[in-house]
Amino acid sequence: MQSARLKCIAVASMIAGISFSSMAMSATIEQLEQRLNAVEEELKLAQEEAADTSGKIRNALTVGGYADVEFVKTNDPATVGGFRMHHLSLMFKKQVSEKLKFFSEFEFEDGPWMDGTAGANAILVEAVNFDYAINNTTTARVGRFFTPAGIWSVDHYPPFVSTQDRPLHIRQIFPQLTDGASVTGNHAIGDSFLNYTLYVGNGETSDFNGKQDSNRDLATGLRVNFSLPFAQVFDIGATYYREMMNDPALASDAQPNKHAYGVHAKIKQGNLGMQAEYADGKYEPTQAIAPAPLPGPVYHRKGYYAQLSYDIDMWTVGYRYDFYDPDTTATLDNTKVNSLIVNYHVDKNTVLKWEHHLLNLEDPASKDYYRSIASVVVNFD
Amino acid sequence: MKTLIKLIPFIAVMVAQSALAEPVAVIVNSANTQSLSSAEVKRIYGDKTIAWDNGEKIAVYNLPPEDKSAELFAQKVLGMSARDAAAEESNRAIKNTSRNPQQTKRAILVSSIVSKTPGAIGYVPKDMANSKPGIRVLFIVE
SS3 readout for B102-128? CEECCHHHHHHHHHHCCCEEEEEEHHH
What percent of chain A lies above the pLDDT cut of 70?
A: 87
Round to whole Å and give the CA distance between A258 and A278: 17
User: Which of B48, B86, B103 is opposite residue A186, by nearest beta carbon?
Assistant: B48
A177-192 pLDDT, tens digit per residue, is 999 999 999 999 988 9
A42-82 pLDDT, tens digit per residue, is 777 777 776 666 555 556 889 999 999 999 999 998 889 99
More confident residue, A151 or A49: A151
What one-character DSSP code corresponds to residue B57? B
Amino acid A209: pLDDT: 82
Q: Which residues of A fall within a CB distance of 8 Å from B79? A: 232
- A198 phi/psi in degrees, rounded to 5: -110, 130
Amino acid B64: pLDDT: 93
Round to whole Å and give the CA distance between B57 and B66: 27
User: What average pLDDT does this structure show over A86-109?
Assistant: 94
CA B6 to chain A, closest CA, distance in angstroms equals 17
Contacts of A90 (CB under 8 A, 6+ apart): A63, A64, A65, A105, A106, A107, A108
Round to whole Å and give the CA distance between A311 and B86: 16
Q: Domain of B105: which CATH number?
A: 3.40.190.10
CA B80 to chain A, closest CA, distance in angstroms equals 8
User: What average pLDDT does this structure show over B21-41?
Assistant: 94
Q: Which residues of B fall within a CB distance of 8 Å from A65? A: 94
Whether the CB-CB separation of A343 and A351 falls below 8 Å is answered with: yes
Q: Do A45 and B112 touch (CB under 8 A)?
A: yes
B110-131 pLDDT, tens digit per residue, is 999 999 999 999 999 999 988 7
| B86: Cα within 13 Å, side-chain hemisphere | 22
- A280 phi/psi in degrees, rounded to 5: -140, 120
Q: Which residues of B fall within a CB distance of 8 Å from A145? A: 96
Q: Indicate the number of domains in chain B.
A: 1
Q: Which residues of A fall within a CB distance of 8 Å from B91? A: 155, 157, 159-160
| DSSP element (H, E) containing B24 | strand B24-29
Q: Do B90 and A45 touch (CB under 8 A)?
A: no
CA B109 to chain A, closest CA, distance in angstroms equals 7
Domain that holds residue B77: 2-141
Predicted-complex ipTM score: 0.80
Count of other CB atoms within 10 angstroms of residue A107: 18
Count of other CB atoms within 10 angstroms of residue A121: 14
Round to whole Å and give the CA distance between B102 and B90: 10
Give the rounded distance of the alpha carbon of A26 from its chain centre: 61
* pLDDT band at residue A213 using 50, 70 and 90 as cut-offs: confident
Give the ranges where chain A is alpha helix by DSSP (H). 2-51, 54-57
Give the ranges where A52-185 is alpha helix by DSSP (H). 54-57
Amino acid B17: pLDDT: 47
Beta strand pairing call for A350-361 and A138-146: unpaired
